[in-house]
Amino acid sequence: MFESFKREFLAGITVAVVALPLALAFGMQATGNSEGAIIGLYGAIITGFFAAMFGGTPRQVTGPTGPITIIVTGIVAQYGLTYAFIAAFMGGLFQIVFGILKLGNYLKFIPLPVVSGFMNGIAIIIIIGQLKYVTSGFLIVLLTIVFMLISIKWIKMIPPSLMALIIGTIAVIGLERIMPIVHFSLPFINEFSLFGEVERIGEIPKGLPQLHLPIVEMDILIQLIPPAISIAILGSIDSLLTSVVMDNLTGTKHNSNKELIGQGIGNAMAGLFGAMPGAGATVRSVVNLRSGAQTGLSAMIHSVALLSFMLVLGSLASQIPLAVLAGILIVTGFTMFDVDSLRVVRSEPRSDAIVMILTMVLTVVVDLMVAVGIGIVFSALIFMKRMSEEGVKMTNRIEGEMSIYTLDGPLYFGSTDALIDTIMKDKEKSIVIEMDRVPVIDATGALALVQIYDQLKERGQTLYLIGVQKNVKVRLRKMKIFESLGNKPRFKDIEDLKYYAVHGYRKKVEKVLNH
């Protein structure tokens, strides 16, 4: 028991060290000023604790992430910080509803090019958002990036973001001491603006997060529904993608709907206590797993550890330069970029590359939700086109006065036009459709059979169906398709049909009718 708790405790402390600089940086990105750093830290504390307690993915760590940060940035810019908290609370409620309605089973069907596209777009937005710090404090940002890259390559014991945070801050303090001397000796050095104005996080509150219950007009609540849904949907996608990664690493199976409920509770609580919403964070979750975590306890300990850091080390954290956080975010943005998706651009099918690029561009230029929505629609249209080309296969042969069409594959809306067009060009007296290789039929496919029957009847031709599988037969019977086809006898195979053509309604036919 003690060993188990020790393992969870150490994993929680380790992942808290990783989460600290990212929470501060994402919070700053969301608000565009130093006030956001503490909001990001609050978000990691609150969402991390409650999502771990109620979620469905053991060892997953929740906190501010790239997609969530970009959504909150837009909400803060349009409505202000207070309303962003309300949107976070509403988004959490939507996620709880998603989980109750078991929508987690369907979010996994979002195509990979769409996911890659909006993740790449988010990475670009994060990098662009830090350019103001590059121009005002180029040297600080550059040094932070260098420290982080060196740490990634050479230092394995300390998380790169934390190493960059510590060394970057120390470097800035050192530069502040020597710059007056350098400027006195070399007055022209100031013209290069390498050091710039050093803006810091500022004072970190030392108390616990306070409950926020603002009075909001109904019209404002209605306006906040779209951004709240954005938080719910993209937060859910982000979390469930991380859940899949954790499944692959652990060989277990997460509970999607329970995870959505846990994420919803975490985000609702974040909104109530003036914190950033969050989502399952892949890097933090993997670090948690590799640190020995076995349950959600480690993620809850991570939240408690972050709270302790804030209370004990808040005065030191207040000295962190925003340009250092900007450097960390720039490297984070580049690491978020899905390099593998670039291979899609150079390979087939080209349609996947188009969807990925379109989603990425719309994410940067328009809006995350618009990008994801249009990406999904385009993917669906491309899928329908592919299935219409690769769906049911059709072959034809002539036996006597019968033209026999053998179908192989599902008969659904994407493949009915080709079937109708082909059969309506046939002039044989009897048209036979063999369906023993049709495993599934949808409403459009069933109604297509009626359309073919009616048009053939007007031209004096006859339609027969043979070999209809049991599940397809049940579907056709429920839709009363056989009645629309004139209740003609159905046949097991072509031999039964030939017997009927010669002998009419005899014992053999009666047996066929009842099979």
Whether residues 395 and 331 share a domain: the answer is no
Whether residues 296 and 397 share a domain: the answer is no
Instruction: Please give the pLDDT value at position 502.
Output: 67
62: which strand partners?
280
Whether residues 266 and 410 share a domain: the answer is no
Whether residues 408 and 496 share a domain: the answer is yes
Q: Which domain holds residue 208?
A: 2-337
Whether residues 312 and 458 share a domain: the answer is no
Quickly state the pLDDT bin for 328 (edges 50, 70, 90).
confident
Whether residues 302 and 412 share a domain: the answer is no
Instruction: Please give the pLDDT value at position 405.
Output: 92
Instruction: Please give the pLDDT value at position 262.
Output: 96
Cβ contacts of 294 within 8 Å, gap of 6 or more: 4, 7, 8, 58, 59
Can you list the positions of beta strands (E) in 333-427? 393-399, 402-408
Comparing 53-67, 179-193, 300-314, the range with the smallest average pLDDT is: 179-193
Which tops the pLDDT comparison, 328 or 109? 328
pLDDT tens by residue, 219-232: 888 999 999 999 99
Scanning 251-349, the segments in alpha helix (DSSP H) are: 256-272, 282-290, 297-317, 322-336, 339-346
462: which strand partners?
430
Instruction: Please give the pLDDT value at position 400.
Output: 78
Q: How many residues does the chain have?
A: 515
230-246 average pLDDT score: 90
Which tops the pLDDT comparison, 350 or 333? 333
Instruction: Give a yes or no: residue 380 inside a domain.
Output: no
Whether residues 292 and 437 share a domain: the answer is no
Question: Given a cut of 90, is residue 443 above it in pLDDT?
Answer: no
Residues of the chain with pLDDT > 70: what percent? 88
Quickly state the pLDDT bin for 43 (edges 50, 70, 90).
very high
Q: What's the structural domain count of the chain?
A: 2
Question: Given a cut of 60, is residue 156 above it in pLDDT?
Answer: yes
Which tops the pLDDT comparison, 506 or 70? 70
Quickly state the pLDDT bin for 261 (edges 50, 70, 90).
very high
Instruction: Please give the pLDDT value at position 512.
Output: 44
Q: Is 441 helix (H, G, I), strand (E, B) or coil?
A: strand
Instruction: Give a yes or no: residue 146 inside a domain.
Output: yes
Scanning 410-506, the segments in alpha helix (DSSP H) are: 416-423, 443-458, 470-478, 481-484, 494-503
Comparing 23-32, 165-174, 208-217, 468-477, the range with the smallest average pLDDT is: 208-217
Whether residues 333 and 426 share a domain: the answer is no
Which tops the pLDDT comparison, 37 or 489? 37
Whether residues 277 and 402 share a domain: the answer is no
Domain boundary among 308, 337, 366: 337
pLDDT tens by residue, 290-303: 888 889 999 999 99
Whether residues 294 and 411 share a domain: the answer is no
Instruction: Give a yes or no: residue 455 inside a domain.
Output: yes
Instruction: Give a yes or no: residue 263 inside a domain.
Output: yes
Instruction: Give a yes or no: residue 165 inside a domain.
Output: yes
Question: Given a cut of 50, is residue 514 above it in pLDDT?
Answer: no
Residue whose C-alpha is closest to residue 405's, from 456, 463, 358: 463
CA distances from residue 485 to 163, 446, 479, 505 in whole angstroms, order as listed: 75, 11, 12, 18
Instruction: Please give the pLDDT value at position 95.
Output: 97
CA distances from residue 9 to 2, 298, 312, 428, 492 in whole angstroms, order as listed: 10, 6, 19, 79, 67
Pair of tokens at residue 220: 């404002």
Whether residues 243 and 141 share a domain: the answer is yes
Instruction: Please give the pLDDT value at position 501.
Output: 67
Domain boundary among 317, 337, 357: 337
CATH number of domain containing 494: 3.30.750.24
Mean pLDDT score across all residues of the chain? 83
Which tops the pLDDT comparison, 216 or 438? 438
Give the β-pairing of 430-437 and 402-408: parallel
Quickly state the pLDDT bin for 509 (edges 50, 70, 90).
very low
Instruction: Give a yes or no: residue 353 inside a domain.
Output: no
Which tops the pLDDT comparison, 383 or 437? 437
CA distances from residue 425 to 20, 393, 419, 428, 431 in whole angstroms, order as listed: 70, 17, 10, 9, 11
Tell me the pTM: 0.74
Instruction: Please give the pLDDT value at position 297.
Output: 94
Question: Given a cut of 90, is residue 264 above it in pLDDT?
Answer: yes
CA–CA separation, 101 vs 65, rounded Å? 25
The residue whose two tokens read 């939700």 is 369
Instruction: Please give the pLDDT value at position 131.
Output: 84
368-384 average pLDDT score: 84
Q: Which residues of 437-475 are buried (b: 16+ CB within 10 A; e: fewer)?
A: ebeebeeebbebbbbbbeebeeeebbbbbbbbeeebbeb
Question: Given a cut of 50, is residue 510 above it in pLDDT?
Answer: no
Instruction: Give a yes or no: residue 354 inside a domain.
Output: no
Whether residues 183 and 317 share a domain: the answer is yes
Instruction: Please give the pLDDT value at position 347.
Output: 61
Reported as half-sphere exposure (CB side, CA atoms, 13 A), residue 47 has a value of 37
Which tops the pLDDT comparison, 345 or 150? 150
Question: Given a cut of 80, is residue 396 above it in pLDDT?
Answer: yes
432-448 average pLDDT score: 88
Comparing 26-30, 90-94, 132-136, 422-426, the range with the smallest average pLDDT is: 132-136
The Cα angle at residue 333 between residues 318 and 92, in degrees rounded to 5: 75
Instruction: Give a yes or no: residue 355 inside a domain.
Output: no
Q: Is 240 exposed, middle or buried (0-12, 13-18, 19+ CB in 10 A)?
A: buried
